[in-house]
């Protein structure tokens, strides 16, 4: 019976191709998943830090409003229904330049 196990032993192969493949997968995950997410988070942080009163914005829930004031822990938006307080992270888009260029002194092109 021992002779059967000795005959069935697998030939010794190098682990180098397997390690190279795992390394390529890790690098691929970094460039396809981790790096774009970090870039997006950095853009969102810069956007939230650059918020100024008077900017017309949209929240993540779809609420449109104008920034009335900025506090340490949030943003007060002025909407048609009144003033509401939101977290800075809830502000998703800035519509001031895109939809209201006259705010920046630009002339609308027709």
Alpha carbon distance 48, 75 (integer Å)? 10
Residues 58 and 101 in one domain: yes
User: For 20-74, how does the pLDDT look when each residue is reduced to its tens digit (9 = 90+)?
Assistant: 999 999 999 999 999 999 998 898 888 888 888 988 888 888 888 999 999 888 8
pLDDT at res. 75: 92
Please, which residues have CB within 8 angstroms of residue 44's CB and are 6 or more apart in sequence?
89
Print the domain residue range for 79.
52-109
Residues 43 and 25 in one domain: yes
Residue 105 lies in a domain: yes
Q: How confident is the model at residue 91 (pLDDT cuts 50, 70, 90)?
A: confident
């Amino acid at each position: 019976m021992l002779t059967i196990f000795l005959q069935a032993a697998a030939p010794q192969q190098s682990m180098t191709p397997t390690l190279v493949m795992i390394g390529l997968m890790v690098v691929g995950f970094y460039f396809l998943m981790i790096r774009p997410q970090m870039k997006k988070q950095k853009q969102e942080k810069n956007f939230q830090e650059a918020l100024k009163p008077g900017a017309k914005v949209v929240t993540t829930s779809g609420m449109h409003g104008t920034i009335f004031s900025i506090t340490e822990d949030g943003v007060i938006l002025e909407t048609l229904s009144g003033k509401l307080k939101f977290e800075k992270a809830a502000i998703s888009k800035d519509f001031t330049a895109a939809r209201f260029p006259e705010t920046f002194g630009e002339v609308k092109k027709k």
